[in-house]
Structure 1
Amino acid sequence: MCGRYSLSKSKIELEERFQAEMLADFSPRYNIAPTQLVPVITSDSPKGFSFFYWGITPEFGRNKPVSQKLINARAESVHQKASFKNSFKRRRCIIPADGFYEWKRLGKKTTIPHRFTLENNALFSFAGIWDEYETVDGENQHTFLILTTEPNQLVSDVHDRMPVILDKGSEKKWLDSYSSEEELIDLLKPYPSDHMISYPVSPLVNSIKNDSPALIRKTSPMDQHGNYTLFG
């Protein structure tokens, strides 16, 4: 799954990379978590950023509390599941990012967070779908989820799934309303591991209350005595 990611670039960098206008204010984010409001670009409005909540309530379970929402969907079956196939056909989006986090398990109780980025620390996007649903208060909310696929060799050392990462050409196809189902499915593959890097980061990222540049810095998971530490 993908349950945390970063978008540490500026508003200007985002607009230049994605050739889209952002009307709202934006500050770099280092620890984006489910239920939060973040920028996406939809197939309905590819020239502008929209702000949606991360987490979709399926059609069969509307008005469930936030904790029960889905945040990811399996790329292998998203076009087949009744709860997602309409969004796959008509409501696709890309989610700008510059890194994502996964936790490597060491023993029964210890996990070490790792950050995954492109080799040049460039902006990229996740493939996603979005939906609109009615809250318990009768308000309409726009939400999205991130598609995941089998891990590449780099990610597989830490986790058994990874988000679908799109390059610029793939983004255009993913947002194009005229792309065929076969073309779309062909995009949902693991990103090449030789174009990515990973490194351990501070366990401060474990708490969504923390959101600072320190979270994306490389740290050493152990000190010279073999104890887990926050600092390299």
Structure 2
Amino acid sequence: MCGRYSLSKSKEELEERFQAEMFTDLKPRYNIAPTQLVPVITSQSPKGFSYFYWGITPEFGKNRPVAQKLINAKAETVNEKISFKTAFRQRRCIIPADGFYEWKRLGKKTSVPYRFTLREDELFSFAGIWEEYESVNGETQHTFLILTTTPNKVVSEIHDRMPVILDRDAEKKWLDKYTEEEDLLSLLKPYSADSMMGFTVSPLVNSVQNDSPAIIRKTSPMDQHGNYTLFG
């Protein structure tokens, strides 16, 4: 599962990295959570950023509010499940990010937040699919979810799933409407562990109300009693 991520780079960095135009100002985000409105790039508009809500409503669930729990789809079955297969074939997107979070459980009530990034702290993207639906107010809304796969060696120490991360070549194939299904499925694999790193971060990330640079800073691991050292 991927339930939080960050996008703390500037508008200029995003436009340069993804070769797409952003028409609105972008505020750095350090703790993006489901139901929030965030930038994506779709297969229908690969040269510009769109803003979609994280949390998808399947085609058969029209007029329902954005789902808070339906935020990921398993890459292994995304082309088979009735709720996702049409979007997989026709409505793919990439979700720009510079890190994501997972929690390592140490007991029934204790978990430690970890942040995962590329080793050079560069921008990357998740593979996603999106939907369009009519809200209860009659407005057209766009929502997306992130595809997940089995974890690489870096993430597997913390969690049993990880988001599908695409490199630049994979992004082009994922957004290309002519890419064959077999080739699309071949992209949905764990990202190279050699290119990633993970580290503990402040428990501030636990609350969606917190969204500051302090969240993405590396912190000292928690001690045997479950106490955090937030500085140093």
1:16-47: CA deviation from partner (whole Å, max 9, x where unpaired): 00000000111110000000000000000100
Change (3 A) 1:167 1:128: same
Q: In the alignment, is the contact (CA less than 8 A) between 1:102 and 1:159 conserved in 2? A: yes
Cα distance in 2 between the residues matched to 1:64 and 1:230: 43
Cα distance in 1 between the residues matched to 2:64 and 2:106: 34
Q: Which aligned pairs between 1:1-232 and structure 2 lie closer than 5 A? A: 1-222=1-222, 226-232=225-231
Q: In the alignment, is the contact (CA less than 8 A) between 1:204 and 1:230 conserved in 2? A: no
Between Structure 1 and Structure 2, how many residues are aligned? 231
Change (3 A) 1:68 1:124: closer
Q: Helix, strand or coil for the counterpart of 2:17?
A: helix
What percent identity do the matched residue pairs reach? 73
Cα distance in 1 between the residues matched to 2:49 and 2:67: 26
Cα distance in 2 between the residues matched to 1:177 and 1:80: 18
1:148-207: CA deviation from partner (whole Å, max 9, x where unpaired): 000111111111100000000000000001100000000000001111000000000000
| Aligned-pair Cα RMSD in Å | 1.3
Write the letter of the residue equivalent to 1:124.
F
Change (3 A) 1:69 1:226: closer
Q: Helix, strand or coil for the counterpart of 1:96?
A: strand
Q: Taking structure 1 as the reference length, what is the TM-score of the superposition? A: 0.96
Q: Helix, strand or coil for the counterpart of 2:30?
A: strand
Write the letter of the residue equivalent to 1:222.
M
Change (3 A) 1:100 1:127: same
Unaligned runs of 5+ residues in structure 1 are: none
Q: Helix, strand or coil for the counterpart of 2:38?
A: strand
Unaligned runs of 5+ residues in structure 2 are: none
Cα distance in 1 between the residues matched to 2:229 and 2:213: 14
Q: Taking structure 2 as the reference length, what is the TM-score of the superposition? A: 0.96
